[in-house]
Amino acid sequence: MARELLLVAPADFVRERTARQRSVRKDDRALATRIGGLRKPPPAAWVVDLLAHEGALDEAAALGPSIRQAQSDADPAAIRQLRQRRSEVVAALAQAGADLASDAGHPVTPAVLEQVRATIEAAMADEHAGAAVRSGLLVRPLESAGFEAVDLDGALADPGAVPDAWSGSDAEPIPITSARRSRKGSRASRTAPPEPAPAPDPEPQVDPAAERRAAREAEAAARTESRDADAALDAAEQELEAAEDRRADLERQLAAATADVERAERARDEAETASDRARDLLRAAQRHRRDVGR
């Protein structure tokens, strides 16, 4: 059910999740709780899940090992060829995702498609990210940063359903761009004479590693805020549902009480009618007796 629900457009996700949660609550409260805990995916993750549902990500995932092997072999010709192929595959998949979103009635922006492309590239760079992306259970976009493993924390609606999607691999993910720059610099250092040391720069130096750490921390904080907001929304929805259930119970009780009152009123009217009829009969009998006595 999680995969089916994640195919619902983000704009309709909360309403559909609530409807499905209500439909199973009476028969399976544990399942209803699990459904209520599903996070709404942002548009980029939704598009990737649409592609996964169509089986469109298989080629991208299959291209990943070839890219990583070419990087490991430091084969410039293979790297150039695979880089070109990677660009073609990513562009084609991003366009296919845009078409699927439009067909579903929810076109996405260029910024969302950029996140889709980054997620597909991350799937090529890291085998575990590839498993996560192909699962159809993605609830946030992914990003490959340098030689580090792709962060999959909180990326899946049900991590236990995708045992291959974990980031503790011994194999290093190797993005083409970062690896290409690194090896190019290495080859240049072997063939070119050493250059004189540059003059001290009075400007403060930027630490790329620190910037990446800060970006990851900011992203983690944003994900935490998003999860907290989702949890608050879920709690509010559950409170609303409980209130609606109480209102329905009260309405049933009111309807039953109203029916009792109506029955009592009919009984009263019938009793009054019978009493009036009895008084009329009594008066008639009294008159008849007086007439006979005369």
Residue 148: its pLDDT value, please?
67
Residue 288 has pLDDT above 60, yes or no: yes
* Tens of pLDDT, residues 22-35: 998 888 888 888 88
Other residues' Cβ atoms within 10 Å of the Cβ of residue 75: 13
What is the reported pTM? 0.56
Q: Is the pLDDT of residue 66 over 80?
A: no
pLDDT value of position 52 = 93
Q: Rounded to whole angstroms, what are the CA distances from 21 to 16, 46, 228, 279? A: 8, 20, 20, 63
Residues 102 and 155: their CA atoms lie apart, in Å, by 24
Q: pLDDT for 205-240, tens place per residue?
A: 556 556 656 655 665 565 566 556 556 656 666 676
Looking at residue 205, what is its pLDDT?
Answer: 57
Q: Give the Cα separation of 143 and 164 in Å (integer).
A: 18
What whole-number distance in Å separates Cα of residue 46 and Cα of residue 68?
27
3-state helix, strand, coil in the chain (%, to 5): 70, 0, 25
Backbone angles phi and psi of 21, in degrees to 5: -65, -45
Distances (CA, A) of 101 to 112, 194, 264, 265: 11, 53, 60, 61
